Amino acid sequence: ETGVTQSPTHLIKTRGQQVTLRCSSQSGHNTVSWYQQALGQGPQFIFQYYREEENGRGNFPPRFSGLQFPNYSSELNVNALELDDSALYLCASSLGQGSDTQYFGPGTRLTVL
């Protein structure tokens, strides 16, 4: 059974640029959630995808967008990067939307200069 993987591991961008982060779900999982963890804080929910549809969104602006593909892998896209977007981005997959355990990837560290 393959765990959740994320790419790239680290990324440096400049303010105003766009970035795409990728996540491969654990085998058989149809739900992916994305989180942002800024320094000194707990992870904050960005959004969730269930069977290729957005299924809940946290308090993030529209320049944070996502996709889920038929194989349940997922992308997080951030446009017009700001310095405050510097953070660790985590994705987590689960078998369903309810109280199921979420399995996390190791994260992508994004630095915006």
Partner 1 sequence: ILNVEQSPQSLHVQEGDSTNFTCSFPSSNFYALHWYRWETAKSPEALFVMTLNGDEKKKGRISATLNTKEGYSYLYIKGSQPEDSATYLCAFKTGANNLFFGTGTRLTVIP
| Contacting residues toward partner 1, per CB under 8 A | 3-4, 33, 35, 40-45, 48, 50, 55-56, 58-59, 90, 92, 97-107
Tell me, letter by letter, the H, E, C secondary structure of the chain: CCCCEEECCEEEECCCCCEEEEEECCCCCCEEEEEEECCCCCCEEEEEEECCEEEEECCCCCCEEEEECCCCCEEEEECCCCHHHCEEEEEEEECCCCCCCCEECCCEEEEEC
Give whichever of 58 and 65 is closer to partner 1, judged by the CB atom: 58
Give whichever of 19 and 93 is closer to partner 1, judged by the CB atom: 93
Which two tokens mark 33? 């959630």
Please state the closest distance from residue 101 (CB atom) to partner 1, in A: 4
Give whichever of 16 and 106 is closer to partner 1, judged by the CB atom: 106
Please state the closest distance from residue 53 (CB atom) to partner 1, in A: 12
Please state the closest distance from residue 10 (CB atom) to partner 1, in A: 12
Give whichever of 71 and 101 is closer to partner 1, judged by the CB atom: 101
